[in-house]
Amino acid sequence: MAMALGREGLLPPVLGRTTRKFGTPAWALTFLLGVSIAMGLGFGEGFQPLPAFSLLSLIVTLCALGVYLLTQVGLVRYFWKRGSFNVLWHLILPLAATGAIVYLYYKSVVPSPAFPDNWAIWIALIWAGTGLAVLVWLKLKHGDLLAQTAEIIGSGDGPVERGLTNDVLEGTGAGLPTPASGAPQ
């Protein structure tokens, strides 16, 4: 995502660069690795390694649960607008998943975890709020570019657009590149 946003100019363009040989988003990956190391060392130094790991794990869990919750809402909205809404698959099951997500969220924060894990909920909320603030800022400053980026990210992800054939998708192996002769398999 960092690479795609860098490529489209919503993040520094250097993050959108890929390596010539493999097409790997090396700059975006290096940036994210650096942020991860800095956070790990910073939290580890501040709280000691095990409490820091516990705190970061709970922050990630709470953020992931938030993303999963929004995914359920998006699923219902998507199929409703598309006109292919199925009550079981697109309402009842997402509601059940939402219930499970809310339950897991509740069990993660009640009773309040011991220090420093009790900070996780606030850090996750601040992180989500910061993300929403950045989104609003991008919408106000670069609304057209943001809409164009959403179209680019949301399209061309299908197998046909990626050049995969039905044989490859069905697992027959036809059409897959074969290793060069003498290459380890």
In a domain, 5, yes or no: no
Q: Is 10 exposed, middle or buried (0-12, 13-18, 19+ CB in 10 A)?
A: buried
Of 172, 9, 18, nearest in space to 164 by CA: 172
In a domain, 60, yes or no: yes
In a domain, 115, yes or no: yes
In a domain, 25, yes or no: no
**How many domains does the chain fold into?**
1
pLDDT tens string, the chain, 185 residues long: the values are 888 888 888 889 999 999 998 989 999 999 999 999 999 899 999 999 999 999 999 999 999 999 999 999 999 999 999 999 999 999 999 999 999 999 999 999 999 999 999 999 999 999 999 989 988 988 888 888 778 777 766 665 554 555 544 444 444 444 434 444 444 44
Domain hosting residue 109, numbered range: 46-154
In a domain, 89, yes or no: yes
- Are the C-beta atoms of residues 47 and 54 closer than 8 Å to each other? no
Q: Say whether pTM exceeds 0.85.
A: no
- Are the C-beta atoms of residues 28 and 16 closer than 8 Å to each other? yes
In a domain, 183, yes or no: no
In a domain, 52, yes or no: yes
